[in-house]
Chain A
């Protein structure tokens, strides 16, 4: 998967037509084979843009930031990124008219070791669900394959209760409460956050397992029905916590019990907690 040339062409064209103020894509780090997000403001710099299977980050995270607010933005999105974009549009965080979305028919990105990412193997929306143009010009439209159960979830679910508790106790212990997960999440844009120290010390205690438990659980519930499985949080986590476990588990519970679409697949479709059905499961309630 290499769309570097197409993206440079499209970016140059958009600058030439005066459609955008800034183009958000990927560039090389300059010191290794990995890539970082690039904010291109100068048409002469489009040659910095690249796109390969190392273009891992979800760029929609930049849409909520001040240096792109109220600017006309060109942006590269993969399937998962576009779902985040859809939710941001639904939740009124971005103005559609300010965006020019360049869709990538994604074939999956790789991790640091060059292995295809787990979420890409299980991805059922590789093609963007919202875009202005696709890099290779072909429209998407193939029907989504069936929902795939995450293998990690299956492994954890197969443990017994005590093992699960022990496993997650270790996870929460390893958390250093840096909040990088929150910062990197495109769906986290609150001015005041449930995991902020200044909010949480009031109730949570200081930097402890207990507060990590509380913060990560609450945070994952805030993302339940909204997480698009881009795994920015995991990529950002310095402790390499398996944060996707919480999100994928919630996603699966919601998908199975409420017959909801996955987050951000349809524009205007809010997260599962902001609607209800009379037919929702009731048998767990006495």
Chain B
């Protein structure tokens, strides 16, 4: 027989002014199972909680109902009071008589009191069906997987590793560094990108807690938070990294020249190459698409010149498996292809380039030694037109969102142009200048003064060729006139788009993604780095366009979250999750289909006691289940129950009114 204790709170005047609290207590006492009922001014205060603790012992109570404020407010407080008295904390039910009665029926005390009594009756009925629940502890593998070795991945990996947690950093290309390694200087302070990035890259390579796996991709991720198993494909590099010293003899002698991705195809690299001089690891790889030894079986020069004999043309892809506790996804971004802007002559006019091409040209280690040149004739441009929002904020041709970084890097480009080309002039066509960020507005203002750049608010309608110049026709909305600018070079600030592999990777990880391909955070404001899948976190442009400071901040936030998971040997989890009664499960697997977390798998159990015949039943992975109850409602055989919200509990509430 259940022995329920009911504790009704005055909440000062908050409840007592509008609900007849003693009457509620009297009403509660009339319920057969209620063995003790009392009111108090502030149930949540220490003396209030002491009354609960005392009554539990004195009256041998089996469940507790506190009629007070919303359970979202003080459920945890009262649960703790129960545990302090040696009672299972989940035997508590809260009747919400403040938010749901006294505060919303202030004009009718009688009705509010009757409703409060009903709410207490419902809570008592539910509490009778409450079960003792225990926090679930899930063992964790203390190793993090970071996917992507750009600044986001580097920062996350370093922060996690500094907490002495092993990190596996997987990078798709031969070197870490990402897009940031291609940048010259960074806004708004104009510090050299390489100078601040390369020390971090070296730290990654030398960190005892980081296992760097370059030139590799994640193939599979199975399991759940704390217990993932990752399958990683290490692509064949055809160079033995263990023996290679990175001397560079191979790529110097290689006869095959191909466009250099690092320099946006402005110059050439070899078929065996290191992406850039500061690459980490600084070991070359053979690009199997172009190497004639691999495609046609002819050449072999690199093998001949390699003193260490590190070249291995027979190398195969390698599959590596790692046990992982948490994942940080930092796959970065791509740039939007401006081809749809036909009226600008994109593709027809060589002297229209993208911002990243411009960035490479003005870089000290770039293909033109830091001086921008016109691709058509190699001359140094004097008048340069920068056009912003190419693809961004353009529903018709591109994407709807603002790419966030273009205003700032275009400002930076006007400064770089001003510094590198004497007597040059910048024209900037813009829609708005969005300079929200620490020091950003000041940076833009100062740049406008220092460079004397002409800012034209309006969209460019057409670009056409006049002699060897490009005529840029657009509207200056501020004077309401069409303007034409004679340009030597046109630079398009193309939109930021997610890495094209994002949707595939998201599916592989079981993370949702939006219509553009950005992976979705669990909550746009309050859980910005978590995904809906526990233990998988997002850093940088994987989630949305971001500049470097935001990316680094988010990466560190991911690291903090990962370290949180690894803080103990096991993870504590709310016990309010689903369980399957195997006896009743018919194995139809409809629950498997509806579970949003993939938490339900199947297992084979004997048909009957001692039977050799097997049947399939559902099994809930308690590490993954988040306790939504979708499976419970679709289980026709009532084989699944959700702790804390079982059928008997809810039905008891319904029938007890």
Contact = CB atoms under 8 A, between A and B. Distances in A.
Contact of A70 (B583, B590, B613, B655): B613
Contact of A91 (B590, B648, B655): B590
A270 interface: yes
A273 interface: yes
Nearest to A223: B636
A203 to B, nearest CB: 5
Nearest to B587: A92
B547 to A, nearest CB: 33
A91 B589 contact: yes
A194 B637 CA distance: 7
Given A92-B616, A203-B651, A192 B637 contact: yes
Given A92-B589, A191-B583, A274 B634 contact: yes
Contacts of B637: 190-193
A191 B584 contact: yes
A205 B585 CA distance: 25
A270 B585 CA distance: 17
Nearest to B648: A202
A23 B543 CA distance: 59
Q: Which of A92, A93, A189, A193 has the most CB of B within 10 A?
A: A92
B586 interface: yes
Contacts of B655: 203
Nearest to B593: A274
A222 B636 contact: yes
Contacts of B583: 191
B634 A190 contact: no
Contacts of A273: 590, 634
Interface string A189-207: 1111110000100110000
A269 to B, nearest CB: 11
- For the residues of B in contact with A, the DSSP-based class is loop
A274 B639 CA distance: 16
Contacts of B590: 91, 270-271, 273-274
Q: Which of B586, B589, B636, B637 has the most CB of A within 10 A?
A: B636
Contacts of B613: 69-70
A93 B634 CA distance: 17
Given A92-B616, A203-B655, A189 B593 contact: no
A275 interface: yes
A192 B584 contact: yes
Nearest to B613: A70
B239 to A, nearest CB: 47
A99 B406 CA distance: 64
B638 interface: yes
Nearest to A219: B636
Nearest to B602: A92
Contacts, number: 49
A93 B593 contact: no
B607 to A, nearest CB: 8
Nearest to A192: B584
Nearest to B585: A191
A194 B638 contact: yes
Nearest to A87: B588
B594 interface: yes
Contacts of B638: 190, 192, 194, 199
Contacts of B593: 270, 274-275
B634 A191 contact: no
A202 B651 CA distance: 10
Contacts of A274: 590, 593-594, 634
Contacts of B634: 273-274
Contacts of A189: 586, 588
A92 B588 contact: yes
A190 B590 CA distance: 13
Interface in A250-271: 270-271
Nearest to B589: A92
A16 to B, nearest CB: 28
Interface string A53-72: 00000000000000001100
A190 B587 CA distance: 9
Interface in B581-629: 583-590, 593-594, 613, 616
A25 B222 CA distance: 46
Interface string A148-189: 000000000000000000000000000000000000000001
Contacts of A203: 651, 655
A70 to B, nearest CB: 6
A271 to B, nearest CB: 7
Contact of A190 (B584, B589, B594, B616): B584
Nearest to A202: B648
Nearest to A189: B586
B578 to A, nearest CB: 16
A93 B636 contact: no
B299 to A, nearest CB: 51
A164 B551 CA distance: 63
Q: Which of B585, B589, B637 has the most CB of A within 10 A?
A: B637
A222 B590 CA distance: 12
B594 A93 contact: no
A50 B588 CA distance: 33
A32 B613 CA distance: 40
Contacts of B616: 92
Contacts of A191: 583-586, 637, 639
Interface of A: 69-70, 91-93, 189-194, 199, 202-203, 222, 270-271, 273-275
- In the complex, the 5 A-B pairs of residues with the closest C-beta atoms, listed nearest first: A190-B637, A91-B588, A192-B584, A222-B636, A274-B590
26 contacts: A69-B613, A70-B613, A91-B588, A92-B588, A92-B589, A93-B587, A93-B588, A189-B588, A190-B586, A190-B637, A190-B638, A191-B583, A191-B584, A191-B585, A191-B637, A192-B637, A199-B638, A203-B655, A222-B636, A270-B590, A270-B593, A273-B590, A273-B634, A274-B593, A274-B594, A275-B593
Given A191-B585, A270-B593, A274-B593, 16 more contacts: A69-B613, A70-B613, A91-B588, A92-B589, A92-B616, A93-B586, A190-B636, A190-B637, A190-B638, A191-B583, A191-B586, A192-B637, A192-B639, A193-B636, A202-B648, A273-B634
